[in-house]
Structure 1
Amino acid sequence: MTAPRPPSDWPALMASVAACIEALGDPAFETHLLALLRDTARIEQCMIFAYDDEDGVDCLLAANERQPRIAGRLARLYTDGLFRQDPNYRGLRQASDDAPRVGLAPMRAEEMPPAYRGHLFAFPDLVDKVALTVREAEVAYTLNLYRGRDTGAFSTADLAGLDAMAPLLASLTRRHYATARPVSQQPSAEEAAVLAPLSERERQLCLFLLRGHTLKTAARELDVALSTAETYRKRAYAKLGVPSKARLVALCRRNA
């Protein structure tokens, strides 16, 4: 594994940053983002989660360089309920309105609750985690970066480099995942094929979610109660056999 570029070596990173910017809104963005993070911080695993104000959580990106198949399993454990044991999530829920919109928080494995550490760190042999939190009006994102035993914990220099990159990473995350595409945009052929089994309202809701809307903003666009939108979402996900928006997005991409 190559050594990370020091924070002072920004010119050498411009090509990677430019590739991320060029790919915003495109599935290739995640590949470029992971390459940038591996180059700068030698991360082994990256997870990006979105949280709404209804205590809902979706996994937007799950990638483990050494054990690719395990990333999805860990993401499901987290979204199925272990997220409530995440100290960073608890801090997110308790944050006041004047809390910083962007914040970087390191969290060593030995400082985690035993059950959380056992399920999400022991098996994949991870030893350290840094979470970048990006707060929006109705949704928050956490970009979680992990180190394995071979690479070791993040050093002071690593954390300084990530702190310097935090505004850039926050902007990239927000622009790629939070920007809803035009509502009038017609479904692609792949989306239409995946959503074909749904009722018209279920299909409309899923299209809003695929365009970057939260459940609350989708309900507003559909002019229905939030509880009704939640019912549409549950029915749609059950019919499609997906547990989350991340899996819905992946299903549409797989059929592309």
Structure 2
Amino acid sequence: MVIDLERLFQALSPLISGEPMDDQAVGSTFRRLMSTLMSFDYVVVFAYRGKERPIDLYSTFDAKDHVLFVSLYQAGPYLLDPFYHAACAPKPGVWRMRELAPDRFFSSEYYRTYYVQTGLAEEVGFFVPVSDQVTVVLSLMRREATGAFSGVEFALLRKVEPLVAALVRHHWGELDRRFDAALARTGRSRRKAVHPPADGVWQHLNLTEREAAIIELVLQGHSSESIGLKLGISTGTVKVHRRNVYRKLGISSQTQLLSLYIKNLGH
């Protein structure tokens, strides 16, 4: 794809002017900037703060796709998303989904029952921390028919990352206030919104903190070996905990586990 310098300079003009812009204008500026460099099918921008419901800042989906990519995602599946976990780490820069995904992500129940519905060949994200707690992730998505981003295209995205980060920090630098306002509307406190696993979705199912941590990593797509490395325990210990959890919950499959997880997110 030949870069259209005239369109590129036009896309950069809002940055140069320094005028404050709303979410739609910032998102559109980002989309126009990226479209001068390469093709893609969708753009979506989320802001993340801990386990709180992500803020949908901008997207290019039609009404049907918006339900899947935004509304359903915000209802709970984001907690299993590799992009969400990278945002919480945080991991600034530009990342491909497959670089961040756990070793068994593409065979996980979350991938089979939710992510595969998106029909995406690849998702690439710009990760921009804007405060100690908030990270904005700007995603470029390509459908299977379009194909993945090439190595040359990804290298170009890395080169433009400082400009994207400047755009985000200039116009979306006060997102903590919006998260606080969203919590206030629900009547919840920040303390209740940010909790360890044992006090979260598994609390009323009487899982220990260690069991809850292991089972959430299972749902994210980590193998027993990967979980052991992350938690500093043996693979055998992970498997014992997993069997105990399945017996305690009266289930026998990851499909049932994911169903319980989604069902109890609102508790």
Deviation sequence 1:139-162 (CA, Å, 0-9, x none):
111111111123210000110110
Instruction: Identify the match of residue 104 of structure 1 among 88, 94, 112.
Output: 94
Amino acid at match of 1:131: G
1:117 and 2:111 equivalent? yes
- 2:88 is aligned to 93
Once the two structures are superposed, the pairs formed by residues 26-175 of structure 1 within 5 Å of their partners are 26=22, 27-53=24-50, 55-64=52-61, 67=62, 69-95=64-90, 102-108=92-98, 112=106, 114-118=108-112, 121-135=115-129, 136-175=131-170
Deviation sequence 1:12-55 (CA, Å, 0-9, x none):
62221114554641343322321222231312111111111353
Where does the alignment leave 5 or more consecutive residues of structure 1 unmatched? 181-211, 219-228, 237-256
Deviation sequence 1:83-124 (CA, Å, 0-9, x none):
1111132233344xxxx6x31111249954644434555334
SS in 2 for 1:15: helix
Q: Which is helix-richer, 1 or 2?
A: 2
SS in 1 for 2:52: coil
Q: Is the 8 A contact 1:41 1:162 kept in 2?
A: no
Percent identity at matched positions? 24
Q: Is the 8 A contact 1:74 1:120 kept in 2?
A: no
User: Measured at CA, do residues 31 and 92 of structure 1 come closer, stay the same or move farther in structure 2, by a change above 3 Å?
Assistant: closer
- 1:215 is aligned to 179
Structure with larger Rg: 2
User: Measured at CA, do residues 71 and 30 of structure 1 come closer, stay the same or move farther in structure 2, by a change above 3 Å?
Assistant: same
Q: Is the 8 A contact 2:49 2:88 kept in 1?
A: no
User: Measured at CA, do residues 30 and 21 of structure 1 come closer, stay the same or move farther in structure 2, by a change above 3 Å?
Assistant: farther
Whole-angstrom distance in 2 between the partners of 1:48 and 1:58 = 8
Whole-angstrom distance in 1 between the partners of 2:70 and 2:45 = 9
- 1:183 is aligned to none
How many residues are paired up? 181
Whole-angstrom distance in 1 between the partners of 2:11 and 2:144 = 26
Q: Taking structure 2 as the reference length, what is the TM-score of the superposition? A: 0.57
Where does the alignment leave 5 or more consecutive residues of structure 2 unmatched? 189-267
1:16 and 2:24 equivalent? no
User: Measured at CA, do residues 76 and 12 of structure 1 come closer, stay the same or move farther in structure 2, by a change above 3 Å?
Assistant: closer
